[in-house]
Amino acid sequence: MEEKQLMEFVDELVAEETWGGPEPEDDSADPMKALLRKQQTAKSRTDALRGGATEGQTLPSAATLFLNVKKVLRRCSNLTRGKPLCALHAVFVKVLGAYADKLRKRCDAAGQLLRTDLKQKDPAKLSAEYRCLCLVVNTADWCAGTVTPLGDSVRRMLADENLKSRIDSDVSLEETFQALVTHALSTLVSGVEARTEVGTGVAKTDWSKVESTGDSSAYVTHAQATFATAVPPVRQTVRDDYFLFFCEKLAGSIAPGAYAAVFRCKKFSDHGAQQLLLDVHALKTLLCELPKAGALGKDEKPRVVPTSYARMVGREMQKVESLVKVILSPREGLAETFRALLPTGSGAEFKKVCELKGMAKKEAEATAVRAFGAAALAQPKATAKPVVSPAAAAAAAATGQPASSHYGHASSSAQQHRRTGSGGGGTAGGGLGGMNSSMFKGMNASMFKMGGVGMSSSVSGMMDRAKDFSAKAASGMKEAADKAKEAASRAR
């Protein structure tokens, strides 16, 4: 009976969830929702005075669900401390698992819209989807830290030691919610990456018809506008370590996409390659500035880009820059330049570079065979990219050690990440009535923050530097080729 009622309650909560949008005005029929709204309103006013931060806010349905679970648990514990209470815990686990599934489905719906509906240009609509995914991140993280105290409370209430031992550990449920955190962040990254259309812009540009270099290409401007819409809601909603994880994964996916897109082009003129080099430098600057996105709060200090993040972006974009420099280099000594600038490049990639420089396919293949051998022209097999959970990345950032990774499904446990209440960076904010008890540790009002979003980013001032960079790269290719050829001769 309790399971059916709780499942129906979950369905009702999810159906009424606004996912970060405006709340309905009439909730007088539900005292619990009226209480939560009162707490949220008071908290949002306080946050507005502090600069409008929303970090740590969760979906109201999560707190409402746990309040109801707490009420059912208290009612049952007043009647019995035996087997029915033990069975009730299993019901709770099942109900919370169902709630996690519904959050995941909402994530998938948001990701589908962001990745496929590229004609959707309404900033309000897109910001709402970004914010929805961020709230799922916060909610899942908060739930992961709340399910264990729930199980501990049930154990304390049971009178029989044998029954206490039958209460399974809540690690699996905790991992379910932690996996949801990773899934929501990954969906957010893939959605933003798709909407930048960087790879598409590089591949579709006819670089052979570029007759002069100038400002950044249209696809770079589009990427900048996408970042301006997407990044501030993430910055202001999720906590700092999750935001840095988001920035790292976004930069780490855009750079390889741009690299692969170059090989989908047909032919480059010298001016076309110089323009692409300028665009790559502009993209690198935009990616480096991502951690500084969003308006500063009233008392917030100027943001500083982490050194490790800047190095990562430089490392990822360096390969794209090196590829374009090879395309800019003269045909004489091309193989040596390719090996010097792209030491991990394959024979098949070198063949495509020859085609991008204007060689016919047969000439390009013959050149590649002379440089690498016929066997080296086969495309290497793709390898799985390691997936690092947000919690592991946060721990790595804190310790300065590389984050552990694994292939496939990403999840993390309490041993990898210590939570601070609502999933925010601290424990600011008052409790919701008696919710901040030993039964449900960490449930506090800091998860119900409201605030505005905004972003002010610009690539002004970098275009001249990029042009100089492009010109120097073009003029230095012959020298690099000569040095590479001389080194090869000495090696023989």
pLDDT digit string, tens, across residues 328-365 = 999 999 999 999 999 999 999 999 999 999 999 999 99
Question: Are residues 97 and 127 located together in one domain of the fold?
Answer: yes
Instruction: With respect to residue 346, please indicate whether it lies within any of the assigned structural domains.
Output: no
Q: How far apart are CA 127 and CA 133, in angstroms?
A: 10
Question: Are residues 229 and 280 located together in one domain of the fold?
Answer: yes
Instruction: With respect to residue 114, please indicate whether it lies within any of the assigned structural domains.
Output: yes
What are the tens digits of pLDDT across the range 222-255?
999 999 999 999 998 998 899 999 999 999 999 9
**Structure-token pair, residue 372:** 């690498």
Instruction: With respect to residue 368, please indicate whether it lies within any of the assigned structural domains.
Output: no
Question: Are residues 15 and 71 located together in one domain of the fold?
Answer: yes
User: Which SS3 state, helix, strand or coil, does residue 387 take?
Assistant: strand
Question: Are residues 12 and 95 located together in one domain of the fold?
Answer: yes
Question: Are residues 106 and 230 located together in one domain of the fold?
Answer: no
Instruction: With respect to residue 126, please indicate whether it lies within any of the assigned structural domains.
Output: yes
CB-based burial label for 6 (10 Å; 0-12, 13-18, 19+):
buried
Question: Are residues 118 and 209 located together in one domain of the fold?
Answer: no
Report the half-sphere exposure of 227 (CA within 13 A, side-chain side): 27
Instruction: With respect to residue 399, please indicate whether it lies within any of the assigned structural domains.
Output: no
Question: Are residues 102 and 251 located together in one domain of the fold?
Answer: no
Total count of residues recorded for the chain: 492
pLDDT truncated to tens, each residue of the chain (492 aa)?
567 888 888 888 888 888 876 655 545 455 555 555 555 544 443 343 333 344 578 899 998 888 888 888 877 766 566 666 667 777 888 889 999 999 999 999 999 999 988 888 888 888 889 999 999 999 999 998 888 777 677 666 665 666 556 566 556 788 899 999 999 999 999 999 999 999 999 999 999 999 888 888 999 999 999 999 999 999 989 988 999 999 999 999 999 999 999 999 999 999 999 999 999 999 999 999 999 887 666 667 778 899 999 999 999 999 999 999 999 999 999 999 999 999 999 999 999 999 999 999 999 999 999 988 887 776 554 444 444 556 555 555 444 444 444 333 333 332 333 333 333 333 333 333 333 333 344 333 333 233 333 333 333 444 454 445 445 544 555 555 555 556 555 555
Question: Are residues 98 and 5 located together in one domain of the fold?
Answer: yes
Kind plus residue range of the DSSP H or E element containing 339:
helix 334-341
Per-residue confidence (pLDDT) for residue 466, from 0 to 100: 46
Instruction: With respect to residue 455, please indicate whether it lies within any of the assigned structural domains.
Output: no
Q: What's the domain count of the chain? A: 2
The helix-helix angle for 334-341 and 361-372 (nearest 10°) equals: 60
Kind plus residue range of the DSSP H or E element containing 188:
helix 171-196
Question: Are residues 42 and 179 located together in one domain of the fold?
Answer: yes
Instruction: Give me the CATH number covering residue 111.
Output: 1.10.357.50
Question: Are residues 321 and 179 located together in one domain of the fold?
Answer: no
User: Which SS3 state, helix, strand or coil, does residue 353 take?
Assistant: helix
Per-residue confidence (pLDDT) for residue 170, from 0 to 100: 57
Q: How far apart are CA 338 and CA 344, in angstroms?
A: 10
CA nearest neighbour of 249 among 290, 294, 305, 295: 290
CA nearest neighbour of 185 among 257, 120, 251, 135: 135
Domain residues for the domain of 270 are 205-295+305-328+460-491
Question: Are residues 174 and 234 located together in one domain of the fold?
Answer: no
CA nearest neighbour of 113 among 409, 121, 243, 134: 121
User: Which SS3 state, helix, strand or coil, does residue 144 take?
Assistant: helix
According to DSSP H, which parts of 50-170 are helical? 60-79, 83-116, 123-157, 161-165
16, 27, 28, 104 from 24: Cα distances, Å: 9, 7, 11, 24
Per-residue confidence (pLDDT) for residue 6, from 0 to 100: 81
According to DSSP H, which parts of 373-417 are helical? 390-399
Query: How many CB atoms neighbour CB 45 within 10 A?
Result: 10
Of 124, 153, 184, the residue at which a domain comes to its end is 184
Instruction: With respect to residue 41, please indicate whether it lies within any of the assigned structural domains.
Output: yes
Per-residue confidence (pLDDT) for residue 408, from 0 to 100: 38
Instruction: With respect to residue 278, please indicate whether it lies within any of the assigned structural domains.
Output: yes
According to DSSP H, which parts of 357-444 are helical? 361-372, 390-399
Query: How many CB atoms neighbour CB 131 within 10 A?
Result: 22
Per-residue confidence (pLDDT) for residue 122, from 0 to 100: 83
pTM of the model: 0.72
- Sorted by sequence, the CB contacts under 8 Å of residue 207 that are 6+ apart come out as 265, 266, 267, 268, 269, 272, 273, 275, 276
